[in-house]
Structure 1
Amino acid sequence: MMYRLLADAAMVAHFAFLAYLAVGGFLAWRWRRTIYVHLAVVGWAVLSLVTGVECPLTVVEDWARRKAGQPGLPPSGFVDHYIQGVIYPEQYANLVRLGLAVLVLFSYVGYVLRRQ
């Protein structure tokens, strides 16, 4: 039971991380200091995308799912299991990444303009 709760908590934290990745720059328009947290989140996302380093939340969820007697996450990871192919077709992965990058850049431009 505890392993299942831990796996679910890791999954929810992962979705929250991805949501913050998408809109955290806009939150910084209101709460300026949060831009540093968002920069760290974007840095981690870029690092994991470029180098393929595995996210600790994925490791925790996979481990907890296996301990709970459930199948673990596929080797492709969290995004491929829960999002890619579920929310959008796999062939649009690069387009979605580009859209997310444009959204983040737009939020940063707005942050700089609002700061002046």
Structure 2
Amino acid sequence: MRKPGRYSRNMGYRVLADAAAVAHFSFLVYVLLGGFLAWKWPRAFWPHLACAAYGLGIVVIGWTCPLTYVENWARMRAGEAGLHPGGFIDHYLTGVIYPEQHLLLVQVLVGVVVAVSWGGVVLRLVNSRSRRERSVLHR
């Protein structure tokens, strides 16, 4: 039986790094659009609030996401270059998806989308409460 070689170990680290990148992208999409899930399922608001608060902490305070550590570690173990010192967003999005000079605009737009999703949650809750009260009055 053949021993696993360097290639198979590197492949495992690459798969782990890629999985961390996919989880990162998924997290970002959830932070951006997850509030809209609460329009249908109001209880989904609370996990989204936690994720959005953590995302805000990453942007404003400069926290590093644990997924950044995992991806960086795995890429380096696979013999690849790690992420930019600025982290995941700087590596994959800034300068790639949008120009670097528009970073603040993108951050503001993300905040607006999240605020709109939360505003929709509030409106739906107020409307459903009003409907319940009217139905009780009409009995």
Q: TM-score, normalised by structure 2?
A: 0.82
Partner residue in 2 for 1:34: 44
The correspondence for 1:71, drawn from 81, 103, 111, is 81
Structure 1 residues 29-56: Cα deviation after superposition (integer angstroms, max 9, x where no partner):
1111111110011110111112111110
Structure 2 unpaired stretches of 5+? 1-10, 127-139
- The letter of the residue matching 1:47 is G
Whole-angstrom distance in 2 between the partners of 1:71 and 1:88: 22
RMSD, matched Cα? 0.7
Whole-angstrom distance in 2 between the partners of 1:10 and 1:31: 27
Whole-angstrom distance in 2 between the partners of 1:34 and 1:3: 33
The runs of 4+ residues in structure 1 deviating greater than 2 Å are none
Q: Does 1:92 align with 2:102?
A: yes
Q: Secondary structure at the match of 2:80?
A: coil
Whole-angstrom distance in 2 between the partners of 1:103 and 1:12: 22
Whole-angstrom distance in 2 between the partners of 1:68 and 1:74: 16
Structure 1 unpaired stretches of 5+? none
Q: Does 1:43 align with 2:53?
A: yes
- The letter of the residue matching 1:65 is R
Higher relative contact order (CA 8 A, sep 6+): 1
% identical equivalent positions: 54
Whole-angstrom distance in 2 between the partners of 1:31 and 1:61: 32
Structure 1 residues 59-111: Cα deviation after superposition (integer angstroms, max 9, x where no partner):
10000000011111111110011001001000000000001101100110100
Whole-angstrom distance in 2 between the partners of 1:34 and 1:6: 28
Q: How many pairs were matched up?
A: 116
Whole-angstrom distance in 2 between the partners of 1:13 and 1:37: 16
Whole-angstrom distance in 2 between the partners of 1:66 and 1:95: 32
Q: Does 1:23 align with 2:8?
A: no
